[in-house]
Amino acid sequence: MTPRSDPVITFTGNLLAERTFEFAEWTPGRTQRAKSESFQVGGKGINVARMLGRLGTPVTALGFAGGAAGAECGAWLRAKAVPWVGIAMAGATRTGLVVRSGPIAETTFLGPDIPPDGASVQAAADYLEGQPDGRTLAVCGSIPGWEEATFDGLREALAHWAARGELVVDTYGPPLAWFGLRPATLIKINRTEFDGLFSPEERQAPLADRLRTLGEERPARAWIVTDGGRPVWLGEAGAQPRSFAVPPVQEVSATGSGDVFLAALLYGRRQRGLDWPEAVAFALPYGAANAAHPGVADFPLRADLSVEL
- Summarised one tens digit per residue, pLDDT across range 108-146 is 999 999 999 999 999 999 999 999 999 999 999 999 999
Q: How far apart are CA 132 and CA 160, in angstroms?
A: 12
Q: What does the pLDDT read at residue 304?
A: 63
* DSSP H helical ranges for the chain: 44-54, 67-79, 118-129, 152-164, 174-179, 191-195, 207-217, 257-272, 276-291
Q: Helix, strand, or coil here: 90? A: coil
CB 297 within 8 A of CB 46: no
- 179-193, 200-214, 243-257, range with the lowest pLDDT: 243-257
Decide: helix, strand or coil at residue 267.
helix
Per-residue confidence at 309, pLDDT binned at 50, 70, 90? very low
Helices 44-54 and 257-272 pack at an angle, to 10 degrees, of: 50
Q: What is the pLDDT of residue 105?
A: 81
**C-beta separation of 108 from 96 below 8 A:** yes
What do you get for the CA distance between the two ends of the chain, in Å? 17
Q: Helix %, strand %, coil % for the chain, to 5? A: 35, 25, 40
Q: Please tell me the predicted confidence (pLDDT) of residue 306.
A: 54
Q: pLDDT-based confidence at 3, cuts 50/70/90?
A: confident
- Best CA proximity match to 93, nearest among 66, 120, 124: 66
Where is pLDDT greater, at 212 or 105?
212
Query: How far is the C-alpha of 59 from the C-alpha of 102, rounded, in Å?
Result: 35
217 alpha carbon, distance to own chain's centre: 25
Give mean pLDDT, residues 13-20.
96
Q: Which residue has the higher pLDDT, 149 or 30?
A: 149
Task: Report pLDDT for 307.
Answer: 41
Among residues 228, 145, 217, the alpha carbon closest in space to that of 181 is found at 217
Could you give all domains of the chain from N- to C-terminal order, each with its CATH number? 8-297 (3.40.1190.20)
What is the band of 305 on the pLDDT scale with cuts at 50, 70, 90?
low
Q: What is the per-residue pLDDT for 16?
A: 97
